[in-house]
Amino acid sequence: MNIVLFERHEIDAPLSADDPRAQHILKVLRREAGDDFDAGLIDGPKGKARLERIGSDGLELSFEWSEMEPDLHAVDLIVGLSRPQTNRKILNEATSLGVRSIRFMVTERGEPSYAQSSLWASGEWRRHIVAGAAQAFSTRLPEVAFGMSLVDAVAKVSGGVRKRIALDNYEATARLVDVATGRDALALAVGSERGWTGAERDLLRREGFVLANLGERVLRTETSVVAGVSVVLARR
């Protein structure tokens, strides 16, 4: 946690002593009354927080905001629903890298029950994107959607996003490093753990996606996401 993030409604009340952020401030940052630390408003500015008092009701904080965060990268990630532990990694890492949206879709080879995981039903997923933003010293959170079909996920890509790439090991016609050029908005699709079906590849091609690879090795979904987004950002 490189910056401590707060919702807007949290800054006018003491931070509960049981809150993990309070434990981080006291035990990891080792702040005492009168000390400052880096803080941010989710989707708002960054600045400094001061620990005014440590009381039985929690930590009393004051805030001074300064710089506004820049917009997230114009990269829309479409990724196949995988096991919850894999999805947690993707939420965290893709947020740290700064994509502006993550859409988790049900693929033909994926397990449909993953969409009913408690990760989504309980709202736990949001905790992982907040952690990813804090890791990146950012306040910006991506838009997240889950449980849709590939058809619906592709339909939600803005018509202004002309550069569309899908990672694929078997029918790729290009290398990602060669096609992910320029600074235009870009959509990057990554299949679930068992990859794309022929019908899904055909749909992607009809929707203007170029099939590209990261090399000859077959990677885990979460590894493909991190490597793919990293290549895209480097080429931008």
Domain ranges of the chain: 4-68, 73-235
pLDDT interval class at 136 (50, 70, 90): very high
pLDDT in tens, 173-200: 999 999 999 888 999 999 988 889 999 9
CA distance readout (Å), 15 to 59, 60, 61, 115, 192: 5, 7, 8, 33, 39
pLDDT digit string, tens, across residues 36-56: 999 999 999 999 999 999 998
CATH of domain 73-235: 3.40.1280.10
Mean pLDDT of the chain: 94
pTM: 0.93
d(CA 121, CA 114): 11
The CATH number that domain 4-68 falls under is 2.40.240.20
**C-alpha pair distances (Å), 138 with each of 7, 93, 166, 193, 203:** 14, 13, 27, 30, 35
Structure tokens at 60: 């009393």
Same fold, 4-68 and 73-235: no
Cβ neighbours for 9, distance < 8 A, ≥ 6 positions apart: none
Reference 150, options 110, 117, 118, 113; nearest CA is 110
Q: What is the DSSP secondary-structure string of 186-206?
A: EEEEE--TT---HHHHHHHHH
Residue 57 pLDDT class (50, 70, 90 cuts): confident
Tokens at 105, concatenated = 């879709």
